[in-house]
Chains A and B, each alone.
Chain A
Amino acid sequence: MDYLIEIQQVTYQYPTGEKPVLQDVSFQIKKGEFCAIIGPNGSGKTTLCNAIRGFIPHFYKGELHGDVRINGKSIKDQTVGELSLQVGFVFQNPFSQISGVSETVFEEIRFGLENLGIDTVVAEKRVDEVMKLTKITHLQDRNPFELSGGQLQRVALASIIVMEPDILVIDEPTSQLDPEGTEEVFEIIRLMKEKQKTIILVEHKMELIAEYADHIILIDDGKVILNGNNEEILTNEKVLEHNTLLPQYAMLGLELRKHGVNLDRIPVTEKQAKEELTKWFAQEGQIYV
């Protein structure tokens, strides 16, 4: 068993939908991999997340063909409760990700641990650690209903991370955040990767994906268009045809190449862009001076 998550020819249609949202989707994700799913709005990214988490077919009815296997076991054979021990799920709307029974952020984060049956003393220690990690310690006594979207998004992420699942499915965690908050969330995700968690992230901020992701899957209209490693996808101009951006460094590289600037490779991150351009200037820059 080489892969942790295997999606095998998944086709799914919502009960009220007219055509399938996912069509013959297949890919595999290895353990410890950081996989980013990109694609335009309405392409089926969130539906895919729901399928990996088992909400399809257990929560949303509708027609599901194919199979999703986690650790070699089909999600069809496991209940949502069993899956919750392995797969953590953070979704888009932070305002509806509150349990609704906790009066403080601290209790909110502890809620998942209570459900997992974790000893209170251990749980409190873990909540403290996670709050430090996600930089929300100052919010711990606030009522979750009174927080802003950005603060809630961090609380939602913390509430899932604290449960320490092996797989994290994160659906647009930065939609409500400012650039600084976004960087912080990615920093948290990076720390999770260091802890050998397998991460599936849906995100639109390409520069950050370029920085952190190992594996990228482009989805459009319910189909997997491109599937490959970071640089392979992010330097591929085909991505632009699907209403999806490339990192600005890759755009710059592609544009320069079109104008006859001969870069060794197309950069995808800021660091690579600097390297490539410095190299290029060193070789040919004098001509233009």
Chain B
Amino acid sequence: MAGDNILKLNPLTKITFAICLSISVFFADYPYALGCFIVLCFIAGFYRILKDYLIMLLKTLFIIIIFMFILQALFYPGHEIVWQWKFISIKQEGLMYALSLSSKILVIGGSILLFFKTTHVKDLVSSLEQVGLSPAFAYVILSTLQIIPQMEKRSRQIMDAQRSRGVETEGNLLSRAKAFIPSLGPLILSSIVGTEERAITLEARAFSAPVKKVRAHVVKETPTDKWLRILFISLLILFMIWRVVLWII
């Protein structure tokens, strides 16, 4: 099925698509960008995550877009007043500007979100490592993913410990703010201490051994990936040339 084929694309191909699409919206007006967004929705549909995807967009980008519409409509300088109430007025120019800006944000944000929603970060990192990202940097990205939930767990433990020592961690804003320092301090300090032991662990596991590493987790790179990437980039270049030529004439 088509969906399954897309699922197996190399992360680099997907990110090339996302980046090309994001750049292209700067060379066209909002109808094009909205068209791009519909394409993104179709792709999400292929992956059978359209509902999740739209909910995620609603929670993140939608809020930004609403704010932008309000601000631009009210404060963008213009003459054609659409609606007025006392000194507050909404102008045509502001609405148009907001529309063109938000449609771009929708495509850029939407394509990046779609990329991360359809790609495991592990796959992304290993594909980057395959094209020459340093293993140390790859480690940093991957370990961060695991460490964040660990830090959450730790901070809960520290909060409990501080509560048992009589630090007020609940109640009004002031007492919560006061509890912030005794909980955050140990969290940061223990994380720093943990770093040292983590470094020793890595050394013990031959992380800096003078041999070439072998990764068990390998992301496949098919000829399709290569051709698709060339296709995306050349389409983008052609599109840019076409728009610039139109613009000059």
Contacts and interface: CB of A to CB of B under 8 A. Distances in A.
Interface of A: 53, 55, 59, 79-82, 84-85, 88-91, 93, 96-101, 103, 107, 110-120, 123-124, 145, 159-160, 163
Given A101-B146, A145-B150, A119 B214 contact: yes
With most chain B CB atoms within 10 A of its CB, the pick from A89, A96, A112, A159 is A96
Interface string B208-223: 1111111110000000
Nearest to B143: A100
Contacts of B203: 55, 59, 80-81, 84
B209 A101 contact: no
Contacts of A145: 146, 149-150
17 contacts: A79-B210, A81-B203, A81-B206, A81-B209, A89-B200, A90-B204, A97-B201, A99-B202, A100-B198, A113-B214, A114-B214, A115-B207, A116-B206, A117-B213, A118-B214, A159-B205, A163-B206
Contacts of B209: 81-82, 84-85, 115-117
A134 to B, nearest CB: 16
Interface of B: 139, 142-143, 146-147, 149-150, 194, 197-216
B205 A110 contact: no
Contacts of B208: 79-81, 84
A123 B214 contact: yes
B216 A120 contact: yes
B143 A93 contact: no
Contact of A160 (B200, B202, B204, B216): B204
Contact of B211 (A91, A97, A117, A160): A117
Q: Which secondary structure dominates where chain B touches chain A?
A: helix
A111 to B, nearest CB: 6
Contacts of A99: 143, 201-202, 205
Given A82-B210, A84-B203, A85-B209, A110 B143 contact: no
B204 A100 contact: no
Nearest 7 Cβ contacts at the A-B interface: A81-B208, A96-B197, A84-B206, A112-B205, A100-B143, A101-B142, A117-B211
B93 to A, nearest CB: 51
Contacts of B147: 100
A234 B146 CA distance: 45
Given A81-B206, A89-B204, A100-B147, A116 B211 contact: yes
